[in-house]
Amino acid sequence: MGKDILKKGEKASQYSTVTCLILSGLKIIVAVYTGSVALLADAINSFSDVFASLAVFFGLKFSQKKANTQFPYGYYKAETLASLLVSGLIVFAGIEILIESINAFFSPSVINMATHALVVVSVSAGAYLFLAMYKMKIGEEIGSPALVSDGKHSLIDTASSGLVFLGIVSSMIGYPQLESVAGIIISGLIIWMGIRMGRYAVLVLLDACVKPELIEETRSIAEAIPGVEGVHSVKMRRSGPYAFGELHLETKGTLTVEEGHEVSEKVEKAVREAIPEIDSLQVHIEPRKGPLKECIVAVPVTEDQGLESGISSHVGKTPYFLIARVEQGEITRWNIEKNPSQDKEKKKGVTAAEFLAEMHVDVVVADDPGKGALYTLQANKIRTAAPQGDTLEEIVRHAARF
């Protein structure tokens, strides 16, 4: 996800700021002339939206600054700080509205020019509904929690404008206290939304994992990459619109540093392509502890009798090899292969070892494979294991555990 996409959020915040400033000014003027406490409460709420949109705007703009030595992970959390500031403003506005509404409930007043107030409230509701849909759409698109939160706040503003409309109508027909009730309900919704937004922002700033599903998705993608034997210690933290993660990969102990690095690059590429909101993924490589997820074991045998074959003591001179695939400690498939070195006069061990490498064998069971065979096996990162067990099946399973 490129940094330039944050400019879309910045633009949405600009539109929101201008619109909220116009609406709040208009509602304050009409509220003063009409004496509507609900409209005044809605005007205060709209005025807080100006600061909220400005906070999101500067947060997104600051997030676009390039990382440096002092801030190696970038300035993304500036957007989260903006979200926390927005939540504080929302809670403050909600408390102010609650106080005004309670006072008006016990001292109701008649609304003047109620029709003018209704027109302003209707325009406000329509404008806020459009802003809410617009900001939430852009916020989801760029992965900005602050912009999404600001959009939800505008959605509540739409509902609050509807309550103000009903309150003014109730006052017009002789029930002025219902307008104050509308103001109390509005304040409760605003305070609840502000607390919810603030909690999310605090969790992000404390590096809490706010999206556990990212961990499971990352683990699943990594486990599907060839060469990965296991995945553990997957961690994910949020930083503004992006996520930063780390995980530990278990690979075969015979991999070289270059091969391990290649596996880690494949994992990082696959994860970041599948989850664009991940800005950085640190991959740690370590050898597999315990049995491999999948292991191919080769056992020199004297005859073609499957798992009932007799064990041979020599790699180069054995007539056959039992090639068995072991998955999670269980033999899932096996077959008998003829040893091609039988047709050779010299270098029988080397020929047999090269054949086993072509079969992608991981472990060869042999007490003394011979110098030529041992050197070739090691060069192809194939391990050797002494036979352990009473049956061929037990020997295969034991070898797979190394």
Q: What is the pLDDT of residues 202-234, one digit of tens each?
A: 888 888 777 788 888 888 898 888 878 778 888
Least confident among 2-6, 136-140, 178-182, 225-229: 2-6
The secondary element (H helix, E strand) that includes residue 234 is: strand 230-239
The arrangement of strands across the sheet holding 278-287 comes to: 230-239, 242-251, 278-287
Q: What is the pLDDT of residues 46-77, one digit of tens each?
A: 776 676 666 666 666 776 677 778 877 777 77
Residue type, 318: T
> What burial class does residue 345 get, using C-beta atoms within 10 Å of its C-beta: 0-12 exposed, 13-18 middle, 19+ buried?
exposed
The pLDDT of residue 298 is above 90:
yes
Distance CA 240, CA 264 (A): 26
Q: What is the pLDDT of residues 179-208, one digit of tens each?
A: 778 778 877 877 887 888 788 888 888 887
When the pLDDT of each residue in the chain is averaged and rounded to a whole number, the result is: 81
What pLDDT sits at residue 24?
80
DSSP category for residue 308: G
The pLDDT of residue 1 is above 60:
no
Q: What is the pLDDT of residues 369-400, one digit of tens each?
A: 888 888 888 888 788 888 888 889 989 888 88
What pLDDT sits at residue 254?
64
What pLDDT sits at residue 101?
77
Q: Which tokens belong to 80?
A: 């989260």
Distance CA 212, CA 14 (A): 32
What pLDDT sits at residue 2?
47
> What burial class does residue 212 get, using C-beta atoms within 10 Å of its C-beta: 0-12 exposed, 13-18 middle, 19+ buried?
exposed
Among 78, 165, 180, 163, which residue's Cα sits nearest to residue 115? 165
- H-assigned helices in 206-319: 212-223, 257-274
**Assessment of whether the complete model's pTM goes beyond 0.75:** no
Task: Report yes or no: 8 and 138 within 8 Å, Cβ to Cβ.
Answer: yes
What pLDDT sits at residue 321?
93
Task: Report yes or no: 30 and 112 within 8 Å, Cβ to Cβ.
Answer: no
Q: Which residue has the higher pLDDT, 322 or 161?
A: 322
Residue whose structure tokens are 């404390």: 206
Q: What is the pLDDT of residues 299-357, one digit of tens each?
A: 999 999 888 888 887 888 899 999 999 887 788 899 999 999 887 878 888 999 999 98
DSSP category for residue 307: G
Residue ranges of domains in the chain, CATH in brackets: 3-205 (1.20.1510.10), 212-287 (3.30.70.1350), 294-400 (3.30.420.130)
Q: Which residue has the higher pLDDT, 220 or 44?
A: 220
Distance CA 117, CA 216 (A): 52
DSSP category for residue 72: T
The pLDDT of residue 6 is above 80:
no
What pLDDT sits at residue 336?
92
State the angle between helix axes of 177-205 and 77-106 in degrees (0 to 180), rounded to the nearest 10.
160
